[in-house]
Amino acid sequence: MLEILFEDQELVVINKPAGLLVHKTALAYGEEMNALIALRDQIGSWVAPVHRLDRATSGCLLFAKNEQILPKLQGMFMERKIQKTYLCLVRGIPSEKQGLIDQPLTSERSGKLQNAQSKYRVLAETEQPFNSTGRYPTSRYSLLELELLTGRTHQIRRHLAHIRHYILGDKKHGDNKQNSYFEKYFGLQHLLLHAWQLRFTHPISGKILPMFCDPPPHFQHIVEKLGWNCSQLTSAPSSSPVFDLL
């Protein structure tokens, strides 16, 4: 059963598990199960995804429940009226504790260069007494909060790779030595990227909807192994610039 975070007659928001496709794709030919089919069967309604999450990414995913509301919700994404906030664990500690990554990305479909912007904020940082890459006696990591200003394929993963703060568990854009170390010593099998929050105004009722979902157990497990307190990750995000996880 999918966890439903919000549902009314117009839309539904779920907590998508890591590893589940949003919908059928040519890249996963023959694989029938996906979030669209599972949700449709669970609630007994026509549904369509308003946006996408990578298969490896967990978290908040918005669906329309009728064909009339779908273009309105898609338009809100295009006009940046829906705020998307993510959590991820990365290698290293950014020198600037918050900033904007403004780096164009080549479309993986058309090959054209597209503008792409991601805002980030360091929530917590740590230096651990183990050597995960074979280069230094200690290893440093950060917990980041990110907001997407554009919606390109693998945008967060590619942007963080661009600034060399690779997401742990990212096998396509990440650091293979880090991934191997965390798999061997911490049992990590998943990408540590989570769609933590969606915030938007309901296009029919006008009510502000702050949708939030806890990071999955595998994410919380690594957070705890790195010595942080998970309690503030399992409550609604604060607007305060101070986030005390240490």
- pLDDT at position 136: 79
Task: Give per-residue pLDDT as tens, 50-95.
Answer: 999 999 999 999 999 999 999 999 999 989 899 999 999 999 999 9
Give the CATH number of domain 3-227. Answer: 3.30.2350.10
- Checking if the pLDDT of 172 tops 60, the result is yes
Tokens of 8: 């009314």
d(C-alpha 9, C-alpha 210), whole Å:
18
Interstrand relation of 98-102 and 117-128 (parallel, antiparallel or unpaired): antiparallel
**Which of 199, 200, 193, 198 minimizes the C-alpha distance to 215?**
193
| Active site members | 54
Mean pLDDT of 203-221: 94
**Which of 115, 109, 130 minimizes the C-alpha distance to 80?**
115
Check residues 221 and 107 and name the one with the higher pLDDT.
221
